[in-house]
Structure 1
């Protein structure tokens, strides 16, 4: 198990290419989902200094706050509500360049400006979402989607 991260500078893509193998080594052999989500959150926060990065886990037909890095957050989100609930309901990645323009956006923090939410799966079933917020507009794109999707495949 890796216990340290090497923080990479450069393009977003080069940062992901350096970080993903490190995260894979960090969680490899650990079967506790919460422990892995905690380390993934910490690694993403350390590398990219996102405003907020964390997980919501499906429990009893709603998303419950899981491990995260950043300011306090909403604890429960209903299916189809906000960006996280919509990504869960639609079973797809949502990239929101300006959260103020997303219908039904749940403002856990007024400082969040853009967001990406990706569902993650175990045995073909969505078990939660990765939620990343930025305090600047238009922070997320297809590069984030590609590499974060690869990262979440490690949890399956």
Structure 2
């Protein structure tokens, strides 16, 4: 299975217009976590109004205390400031990492842009060391582009 083969299902979830935006985002989280073995926690964070912080949106995986993340703090907070993808092959090597679970070994965060503004991100934790490839990065950019279509 390549990640490319998952794109049509992501598009189907996005186009499911009778579901709310949050329901579709949760369906994407569930789908990615079920289909990709090294995706152990999948969630969305969004800019919290005019505040310089992110607020947790729909997610699947272990519960987290990190429902609000200040810009600049942790991997997600850094992506909110840098507007760049952030792939962390080994979270223990990161000084500015917010630990969600002792089982997490790696993380990837991809920003979501609407009209050129970073409005949020998809955040994926893996319990597998260094699992993320360029294919993951390109696939998740695609997911974020599709999500941007339904965010107002």
Give the TM-score category using the shorter length.
0.7 to 0.9
| Higher RCO structure (Cα 8 Å, ≥6 apart) | 2
Match of 1:114 among 106, 117, 122: 106
| 2-structure distance, mates of 1:36, 1:88 | 22
User: TM-score if structure 2 supplies the norm length?
Assistant: 0.88
1:12-91 matches, within 5 Å, as: 14=2, 16-28=3-15, 30=17, 32-49=20-37, 50-59=39-48, 60-73=51-64, 74-91=66-83
1:80 is paired with a residue of what secondary structure? Answer: coil
- The answer to whether the 8 A contact 1:121-1:155 is kept is no
| 2-structure distance, mates of 1:82, 1:139 | 19
Match of 1:132 among 124, 146, 151: 124
The answer for unaligned runs of 5 or more in structure 2 is: none
| 2-structure distance, mates of 1:123, 1:41 | 23
Deviation at 1:94, TM superposition (A): 0.4
> What is the number of equivalent residue pairs in this alignment?
143
The answer for unaligned runs of 5 or more in structure 1 is: 1-9
- The answer to whether the 8 A contact 1:97-1:140 is kept is yes
1:155 is paired with a residue of what secondary structure? Answer: helix
User: TM-score if structure 1 supplies the norm length?
Assistant: 0.86
Which aligned segments of 4 or more residues in structure 1 are displaced greater than 6 angstroms?
none
- The answer to whether the 8 A contact 1:122-1:155 is kept is no
